[in-house]
Structure 1
Amino acid sequence: MGLLSVRNRFIEKLRNFATLSDPAEAALEAATRNASKLPARRDLIREGDRPGPVFVVLDGWACRYKILPNGGRQILAYLMPGDCCDLHIGLLAEMDHGIQTITPAQVATISGGEMDSLLTDHRGFARAMYITQLVDEGTMRAWITSMGRRTSKERASHLLCELYLRARNIGLTDGIELVLPLSQIMLADSLGMTPVHLNRVLKELRLSGTIQLRRGSVAIVDPARLAQIAGFDENYLHRRLRPAIAG
């Protein structure tokens, strides 16, 4: 994923949820022009910090995470190119989780005041942003369901289905292979498993001919089988919405 790409994946993602007017797109281009190139494992904000701007990931991967009193980590969500964080986070007194880059990333910041103006001035943008928030909430509900009711094999399969579909939707892959910059420790931290147990689950999926694992990537060899194991229904990602009238 090159940091010098001229594509604005944030705008591309929003177009899936609403028709953006030319002035709205120009305003968004201007608002995200201040993007910074950040190294991997850089905290954008930490738990307990005072909330600041809205972060927009234009390139690279990041994650939301929480550190437990015993030092353990729970990963709460993965952020891909085009994703943004916490539309109304400025209403809170302090952060209840941290956000950190996973890979080198290009991240723009939009101040609370500027975001309020964008939402007020551009109806299509406001609609798209509210829908992205709803999709994020739907994704969180899917993760909660996995943690509470899915078996380890179903849980891992469901996450792989989700990450592959999200990546395909934004053009990060057009085949069966997905560059996956997540270590098994990170995957375990997002699935509520130990790395040893996750390794056994992934080995079972690999030996069944469902996936192939390589360093830094995963190939979904049998997507129908993987979705069947996971009980995966993409509805919570709400890709079927029709864009509304521009504004």
Structure 2
Amino acid sequence: MTTLTAAGIEPLFRLLGRYMPLQEEDRTALLTLEAGPVCVGDARSDIAREGENPSVVRLLVSGWACRYKDLPDGRRQIVGFFLPGDFCDLNIYILKELDHSIGALTAVRYYEIQPQQFQSVIEERPQLLRALLWHEMVTSGIQREWLLSIGQRSPLERLAHLFVELYYRLQAVGLATGHSFDFPITQNHLAEANGLSLVHLNRTLQEMRREGLIELSDKQLRIGDLDRLKRVAMFNSNYLHFNRAERA
């Protein structure tokens, strides 16, 4: 067993620091977590499958992954994106079996942490525990916004909302430069996350390009006018709680 590296936990520490003021002792506590060697997953491979008995807490270090559900006829709905610094379901180990699958959208690297180790650390660092609870609340908030998008937002509004959300999430962990960020996922992934056909998705992306809202090329997404994109999406960032630490 090895302990987590400073580089491995940096996105997580930045993210949690958005919710609660954390101290260097909290970073040190995270570094005492023991894990096996960094796990590697190929793009389009599963990290965990529905029906499996989960036994570890997974921390994504690099790459993009997703939570998804399949129908018996093969249709798939992506119900969440995991970005560097995210736990792939923090309390997943309390389940007897998974009710969803976790898939790598790109090549990924992640740690597998034993639940007992994790529990011991957060019990000793109450501020860290509070930050993790806020993170779980934000995860629930994201799910509510996705449900609202599928049920009520137009395709243009859905994509605009998702792009703004991803921008803020990546910015929080230091992975957005200006209004640009790596965007390594495919149109198939976008269609499966937004409940759209590929044809409808492509038309909507073309409309966004024509309107100067986004530029998407070479696996990079640049937001042309963030304020305008937020207005199109009717975006309210309150569900992300990224200014929580300032208020605290």
* Fold-level similarity (TM above 0.5): yes
CA–CA separation in structure 1 for the residues paired with 2:86 and 2:238: 18
CA–CA separation in structure 2 for the residues paired with 1:90 and 1:6: 25
Return the match for 1:177 from 167, 180, 183.
180
Return the match for 2:17 from 12, 15, 18.
15
Alignment correspondent of 1:146: 149
The answer to whether the aligner puts 1:197 opposite 2:203 as a matched pair is: no
| Amino acid in structure 2 at the alignment position of 1:98 | S
Aligned pair count reads 242
**Residues 75-118 of structure 1 deviation map (CA, whole Å, 9 limit, x = unaligned):** 01111111112222222211011111222222011112112212
| Amino acid in structure 1 at the alignment position of 2:129 | A
Q: Which moved more, 1:222-231 or 1:86-95?
A: 86-95
Alignment correspondent of 2:84: 81
Counterpart contact for 1:19–1:244, Cα < 8 Å: no
TM-fit CA distance, 1:203: 0.6
| Amino acid in structure 2 at the alignment position of 1:74 | Q
Counterpart contact for 2:122–2:129, Cα < 8 Å: yes
Return the match for 2:120 from 113, 117, 121.
117
**Residues 97-142 of structure 1 deviation map (CA, whole Å, 9 limit, x = unaligned):** 1111222222011112112212211111111111100000000000
- Aligned residues: percent identity? 36
Counterpart contact for 1:17–1:244, Cα < 8 Å: no
Write out aligned runs for 1:1-247 (5 A).
6=7, 8-31=10-33, 34=36, 35-242=38-245
Return 5+ residue gaps in structure 1 as ranges.
none
| Amino acid in structure 2 at the alignment position of 1:15 | G
Counterpart contact for 1:61–1:81, Cα < 8 Å: yes
1:162 aligned counterpart, secondary structure? helix
Return 5+ residue gaps in structure 2 as ranges.
none
| Amino acid in structure 2 at the alignment position of 1:19 | P
TM-fit CA distance, 1:21: 4.0
**Residues 190-240 of structure 1 deviation map (CA, whole Å, 9 limit, x = unaligned):** 000011100001111111111112131221111121111110111111111
For the aligned residues, what is the CA RMSD? 2.0
In structure 2, the CA distance between the partners of 1:230 and 1:87, relative to structure 1 (3 Å rule), is same
| Amino acid in structure 1 at the alignment position of 2:71 | L
Counterpart contact for 1:64–1:76, Cα < 8 Å: yes
CA–CA separation in structure 1 for the residues paired with 2:6 and 2:45: 21
| Amino acid in structure 1 at the alignment position of 2:170 | A
CA–CA separation in structure 2 for the residues paired with 1:199 and 1:55: 33
**Residues 34-91 of structure 1 deviation map (CA, whole Å, 9 limit, x = unaligned):** 4323322232111110112111012211111111111011001111111112222222
- What TM-score comes out, normalization by structure 2 length? 0.91
CA–CA separation in structure 2 for the residues paired with 1:181 and 1:210: 19
2:205 aligned counterpart, secondary structure? helix
CA–CA separation in structure 2 for the residues paired with 1:225 and 1:50: 45
| Amino acid in structure 2 at the alignment position of 1:232 | F
- What TM-score comes out, normalization by structure 1 length? 0.91
1:182 aligned counterpart, secondary structure? coil
CA–CA separation in structure 2 for the residues paired with 1:104 and 1:69: 26
| Amino acid in structure 1 at the alignment position of 2:12 | F
In structure 2, the CA distance between the partners of 1:87 and 1:243, relative to structure 1 (3 Å rule), is farther
CA–CA separation in structure 2 for the residues paired with 1:16 and 1:80: 16
CA–CA separation in structure 2 for the residues paired with 1:32 and 1:132: 21
TM-fit CA distance, 1:5: 8.7
